[in-house]
Amino acid sequence: MSPLRLVWKNIAGSAFRSWAVFLCALVVGGLLFSTVLLVRGAEDSLRLVQQRLGADVVVVPEGTGDRVETALLMGQPTKVWMPRQNLDRIGGVAGVAIASPQLYLASLANAPCCTAEMFVMAFDPQTDFTVTPWLNRHLGHNLGLAEAIGGSDVFVPYGEDKIRIYGSEIDLVGSLERTGTGLDTALFLTFDTAYAVADGSYTKAVRPLEIPPDSISAVLVQVEPNVDPRVVALQIAHDVPGVTAIPGSGLFQAFHTQAGLLSRIMAALLGTVSLLSLLLVGLTFSMAVNERRQEIGVLRALGATRRAVLHSLLVEALMLALGGGATGVLLAALVLYLFRNLIVASLMMPFRIPSVPSLLALAAGGLAVALADVALAVLLPALRASNLDPATAMRE
Amino acid sequence: MIKIEAATKTYALGRGVEIAATRDVDLEVARGEFLVITGRSGAGKTTLLNLISGLTRPTSGRVLWNGMDLWALDDAHRSALRNRQLGFVFQFPSLLPSFTVLENVVLPTAFGSNRRDPNVPGQAAALLQRVGMAGRRNAYPRQLSAGQQQRVVIARALINCPEVLLADEPTGNLDAETEREIIELFGELQATGELTALMVTHAPHLVPQASRVVEMAGGVLRAGG
């Protein structure tokens, strides 16, 4: 008979203890995995969207910073406007290398003219540094009239070959990499296309697309080399009235803070659960050792060494922890995958599923913590069991 | 083969009070001997068996196996000796409840070098046949009578072909008829092999096969019978 068979029999023979350890490991492993995955996914998204925008400073109408950030991260369409002349004033601020205007629009929802409600970003191909580099790399040319590229979740509807925005048909010529943010559901097109769609909307759509004359929504700024974007942002705010200038490092600060807060709350929850599991598993195994004193004495009489008794209890606990931890990680992954949209909407946080190696590392981390938690809890009772005097144990 | 020299075992009762379970016990057991240890409850019979088997350490004195001091060995070697050279039959129910009869019989092999020996299940089946339990190999202990359980325990004690069989009141919980059957079985097993047997019993008259009877009284060993 192999010692593992003995361990397995003990697991099968004590349903309460086995389930207690299994469930504790499941909760610890699953919670750790989901916590780190959520926070890591949010931070990855924030980093990626900052990279995607590529702006050192983002200038928006005064007081609309939160709305624009939410639009970019959560894909909630927004319409904000400021005078186009701001573009020239921003371009004239010392330290500004490039200033590129953008229009933030929303397509119509549930209208026969349109595919679906989408956040639409129009850019100026002459100055743009957000989409144009990608276009040059992947398409070899910029967007033409009535052409657009979409985020990873933008598709041409089934049975059609174009996207319809305010009644105008748009060719979807490419899709961007997933970011886990609102940019995944956004449509990117040129100013010319945006104005053409707006002009056509008066006859083709149930409601016209109104773009106020000589207006823009935002200006993305790249600063000159060795210039501090924070200084440039302060200078823009000073020189251009009625705008909010957000340096790249300060972009999505509220979301970073939220991710940090979520991280701290989840860490506290995880710490509490781990401690409770430690106590529960420790108590359960202490009770088991007390109940099995005579049995442990018999095993020692039959030739089990102290080390064999210690190993047997530790392996029993670790097998349960491995099973529970792995189940917890798998369940957490499944829940996060199935309900990711609901979770993202509830937490008001962007989320991007990390790469497979990152996921595997997270899963291994979740398992390792569950195993360590259970091993720590079982160590004392197992040591006590292995040091029992067999003769005394059998007599009780 | 087994020699005990002036073995005393005391237990602390707390507040500085100690009780001696055995006092200066000297005993020598030869190979093939069937020694019966008798005495009243609390006389120190079980402690003597525990001293012989290395399950408890003498407070003073020595326990020698083939000239080797048991307590000069480390735990691993002492456990290996118990595993390979000793078979135990306890008074209390000692079968593991979640194991079948056959699994209980092969249990000692989990701690020995023969754990992967493919012949072990066959040997266990043969032992169960020998103790009259071949038909119950897949039963669980709770499905057996006390006498049947003791028969399985005897089979378990013999699975590693030990040199010495230690039985601590093996019939203590059995009715008279089953007690007689079990003691007869011991006699048969001991007579057919080169087994050395030490049996603690209240009823030495039921063990006519015994080659020697000694009596424990107040922790002191004296010739009896």
> In terms of domains, do A131 and A234 share one?
yes
* pLDDT digit string, tens, across residues B95-112: 998 899 999 999 999 898
Q: In Å, how far are A106, A111, B66, B94 from A120, measured between CA atoms?
A: 6, 16, 93, 77
pLDDT above 70: percentage of residues in chain B: 99
* pLDDT digit string, tens, across residues B32-73: 898 999 998 889 999 999 999 999 999 999 999 999 999 999
The reported pLDDT for the residue numbered A110 is 62
Whether the pLDDT of residue B206 is over 80: the answer is: no
Amino acid (one-letter) located at A125: P
Domains in chain A, number:
2
Average pLDDT over residues A226-243: 93
Pick from B159, B161, B39: which is nearest to B106 by CA? B159
Q: Does A12 touch chain B (CB under 8 A)?
A: yes
Amino acid (one-letter) located at A35: T
- The pTM of this model reads 0.74
Whether the pLDDT of residue B174 is over 80: the answer is: no
> In terms of domains, do A345 and A387 share one?
yes
Tokens found for residue A12: 């099968």
pLDDT above 70: percentage of residues in chain A: 98
> In terms of domains, do A17 and A157 share one?
no
Whether A248 is covered by a domain: the verdict is: no
Please identify, among A215, A241, A267, the residue that sits at the C-terminal boundary of a domain.
A241
> In terms of domains, do A111 and A225 share one?
yes
> In terms of domains, do A136 and A223 share one?
yes
Whether the pLDDT of residue B224 is over 70: the answer is: no
DSSP state of B65: E
> In terms of domains, do A137 and A67 share one?
yes
Q: Does A383 touch chain B (CB under 8 A)?
A: no
Q: In this structure, are residues B1 and B31 in contact, taking their beta carbons and an 8 Å threshold? A: yes
Whether A106 is covered by a domain: the verdict is: yes
> In terms of domains, do A365 and A279 share one?
yes
> In terms of domains, do A116 and A187 share one?
yes
**Residue B90 C-alpha, separation from nearest chain A C-alpha, in angstroms:** 9
Task: For residue A196, give its domain range.
Answer: 63-241
Q: In this structure, are residues B172 and B145 in contact, taking their beta carbons and an 8 Å threshold? A: no
Identify the band that residue A13 occupies on the pLDDT scale cut at 50, 70 and 90: confident
> In terms of domains, do A120 and A35 share one?
no
Please identify, among A187, A218, A241, the residue that sits at the C-terminal boundary of a domain.
A241
* pLDDT digit string, tens, across residues B137-165: 999 999 999 889 989 999 999 999 899 99
Whether A54 is covered by a domain: the verdict is: no
Candidate from A178-192, A208-222, A289-303 with smallest mean pLDDT: A178-192
> In terms of domains, do A38 and A148 share one?
no
Of A87-91, B91-95, B129-133, highest mean pLDDT: A87-91
Identify the band that residue A114 occupies on the pLDDT scale cut at 50, 70 and 90: low
Whether A96 is covered by a domain: the verdict is: yes
* Extended strands (E) in A279-338: none
Whether A28 is covered by a domain: the verdict is: yes
Whether A58 is covered by a domain: the verdict is: no
Average pLDDT, chain A: 87
Whether A246 is covered by a domain: the verdict is: no
- Residues whose CB falls within 8 Å of the CB of residue A341, separated by 6 or more in sequence, listed in order: none
Amino acid (one-letter) located at B39: G
SS3 A105: strand
Average pLDDT over residues B165-191: 81
Of the partner residues A10, A303, A305, the one whose CB lies closest to the CB of residue B108:
A303
Please identify, among A241, A269, A297, the residue that sits at the C-terminal boundary of a domain.
A241
Of A128-137, A161-170, B103-112, highest mean pLDDT: B103-112
The reported pLDDT for the residue numbered B45 is 92
> In terms of domains, do A308 and A228 share one?
no
Average pLDDT over residues A2-30: 86
> In terms of domains, do A158 and A11 share one?
no
The reported pLDDT for the residue numbered A382 is 92
Tokens found for residue B88: 């135990």
Whether A52 is covered by a domain: the verdict is: no
**Residue B56 C-alpha, separation from nearest chain A C-alpha, in angstroms:** 6
Q: Does B40 touch chain A (CB under 8 A)?
A: no
Identify the band that residue A113 occupies on the pLDDT scale cut at 50, 70 and 90: low
The reported pLDDT for the residue numbered B49 is 93
Residues of A in contact with B153 (CB under 8 A): none
Identify the band that residue B175 occupies on the pLDDT scale cut at 50, 70 and 90: confident
